[in-house]
Amino acid sequence: MKILVADKISSTGVDFLKSQDGFEVIEIFDLPKDERAVKLMEHAPEMSGIIVRSDSRITKEVLENAPKLKAVGRAGVGVDNIDIPAATDHGVVVMNTPGGNTIATAELTFTHMLCGARPVPQAAASMAAGRWDRKVLGGSELLNKTLGVCGMGRIGAEVAKRAKVFGMSIVAYDPFLTEARAEAMGIEQVELETLFELSDYITVHMPLTDQTKYMIDEAAFAKMKAGVRIFNCARGGIIKESALLEALNSGKVATAGLDVYESEPPAEDHPLRSHPKVNLTPHLGASTQEAQESVGIEIAEAIADAVRDGEIRNAINMPALDATTLGKVGPYLDLCSKLGTFVQQLALDKIESVKITYLGKIVDLDANSLTRGVLKGFLQNISGSNVNFVNAMVLIERLGIGVEVSSSNAETDYTELIRVEAKCSNGESVSAEGTLMGKGNTPRIVTINDREVEVDPCGYLLIIANSDELGIVGQLGSIIGKAGVNIASMSLSRNEVGGIALNVAGLDSALDDAAMKEILSVNAITQAKLVHLEC
C-alpha cells in the first residue's frame, strides 16, 4: 500500500508510516508547489492514501485518477483544498486533525485578544522606529468585560476557559451546545443577536459553511456595542471584511485581530493590512512546534488505520468508525452487506424504497455504520466496486431509492436481528432477515419473504417458490444434476401443508440459462431466482 505525503508534516509522522508493515511512503513535499501538483497527479493512480496540509489540492481530477485511493488526510482542520463531494463520489474518506491544533489556536486567539486590548504590536513598532509613544498607546483591561464566543467546540471552549481566568464573563452562541454543558462550563448560552448586543469582545470559532458565511456582516455590526473588539482565528469569510472595514472606520469596532481571510493571502493593497486598529497574522493558528508534531502524528496514524484496517476517525464525509466501534459492529457489517445484496437480487421488479429494521440488542450499536453496510451490499451489483461505506448514502439517494431505518426492542426468536425489506414499483415487496449464530458469529439468513429458513449467505443460492406438491425436490435435483452443478445445502419451508413452499438450495456453481428455464417450466414452480453472494 502506497502513501503519498504531498505536504510537509512532522518527521515523526512520516517515520511512523515508514515503520508500518506493507506500506511504501512517497514524499514530494520538498518540491516546488507547481512541481508537487504534477507529481501528485502522476503518483495518484497507485496511491492508497494521501496526506496534505494546505498547499496541495486534491481536486476532482486527482480523485478520478486515483482508483486505489481509500483516504485523504489533512494535517490540520480546514479542508478547503480537498474536493469533498468528489471524494465522496469516489468512495474516498476525508479526515482531518481537529484536536492537534486546539491549544495552539486557542492561545493565538487569546494573544490577539490581549493585543486588541493593549496595543503591544503598535508599541513594539514605535520603539523599533525610535519613538516613545507612551501617551498615545493606552489600552483596556479584560477584567469584568463580556466575551462573546461564537462556537463552543474544542477551541472555543479553551478560549472561554482562559477568559474566565482573566475575570471575563462569557456568553456563547452554538446551536449544538447543550444547556447542561453550558452550565458545567460556567457560561451563559444566548442567541446570536443577544451575543452581539452584550459582548465587549467577540471571537469566532465555527467552520465556514453556507450558514456561517458572512455571519458577521453590516447588520451584525449594527447590533454591537460601540467600541467592540472582534477576532477571527477560525475561517476566513465568517466575518465580512468590507463590513469590518466600515465598522473600524466608523469607530463601531475599536480593534480587530485576524489570522484568516476571505482570500489567502490577502492582496498586498488590502486596506486591512495598513489599518491602524487591526492586528493581522498570516494564518498561524496551528503554527507551533507542538501542534505540528501533534497533527503530523495524528494524521499519519489515522491514514494508516483507515487504509489498513478500515478504522475511520475525524472523518469529514462519513461518521467516525473508531477501533472500539469497529470492534463492536465489525461482525455485523458482512451480514448487513449480504442482506442488502440478497434483497436487491431477489426483487423481480424495480425497487423504489428500502426499509431496514434493527431488532433486539443490536439497537445499542452504531446504526449508521450498519445501514451503510446494508446499502453498500444493495448497490454492489448496481454500482460495482465503486461503492463503499463512504459513498453508499450518496449513490442510493441519486438513484431515487428511499431509505427508511427503524429499530425496536420487541422480542424476537433471536438476540439480534436485522431485517431488510425492498418495495418494488409493481407493489410487491421482498425481504430477508439475518443474524449471527454461534461462538464464531457466523452470519445466517433466517427468513426470506417472512418464511423461516436457515441459509449460509455464501456463494450461489437458488430460491424456489412452489406449490407444496410431491416430487418437487426430486425434480429440482434432477435438473440441477443434469446441468453438472452440485447441491451443497438445502433449506425447506412451507406455510402449510399443500400451501406455498420455499426451497433454498446452496450450489457449488452457477446454473446456466437453460437450466433456469427448465426449472421455471415445472408447473408447480411459480418463481425461481439465482442469487450470488460473495463468501
How many residues does this entry show for the chain? 535
> What are the E-state strand segments in 468-524?
487-494, 500-507
Residues in CB range of 148: below 8 A, 6 or more apart: 171, 172, 173, 195, 196, 198, 199, 201, 202, 203
> Please, where are the H alpha helices in 53-168?
60-64, 84-89, 102-117, 120-128, 154-165
How far apart, in whole angstroms, are the C-alpha atoms of residue 376 and residue 326?
A: 16
Secondary structure (3-state) at 137? coil
Q: Describe the crossing of helices 154-165 and 102-117 by its angle, rounded to 10 degrees.
A: 40
Among candidate residues 461, 527, 532, the one with its CA nearest the CA of residue 500: 527
How far apart, in whole angstroms, are the C-alpha atoms of residue 298 and residue 12?
A: 10
The C-alpha cell at 95 is 479526515
Residue of 35, 183, 191, 264 marked catalytic:
264
Residues linked to residue 357 through DSSP beta bridges, in sequence order: 406, 419
The question of whether 235 is a catalytic residue gets the answer yes
> Please, where are the H alpha helices in 224-349?
241-250, 289-309, 323-346
Cis peptide before 119 (omega within 30 of 0): no
Residue of 235, 313, 419, 444 marked catalytic:
235
Give, for 371, the enclosing helix (H) or strand (E).
helix 367-383
| DSSP letters spanning 166-202 | TT-EEEEE-TT--HHHHHHHT-EE--HHHHHHH-SEE
Cα–Cα separations (whole angstroms), residue 64 to 118, 386, 496: 51, 11, 55
Among candidate residues 92, 41, 47, the one with its CA nearest the CA of residue 68: 47
Give, for 472, the enclosing helix (H) or strand (E).
helix 472-482
Residue of 283, 372, 419, 444 marked catalytic:
283
The C-alpha cell at 450 is 417472512
The question of whether 283 is a catalytic residue gets the answer yes
Instruction: Let me know the angle formed at the C-alpha of 337 by 335 and 340, rounded to the nearest 5 degrees.
Output: 110
How far apart, in whole angstroms, are the C-alpha atoms of residue 503 and residue 6?
A: 56
The C-alpha cell at 102 is 486546539
How far apart, in whole angstroms, are the C-alpha atoms of residue 117 and residue 308?
A: 50
DSSP state for residue 25 in the 8-state scheme: E
What residues are labeled active site?
A: 235, 264, 283
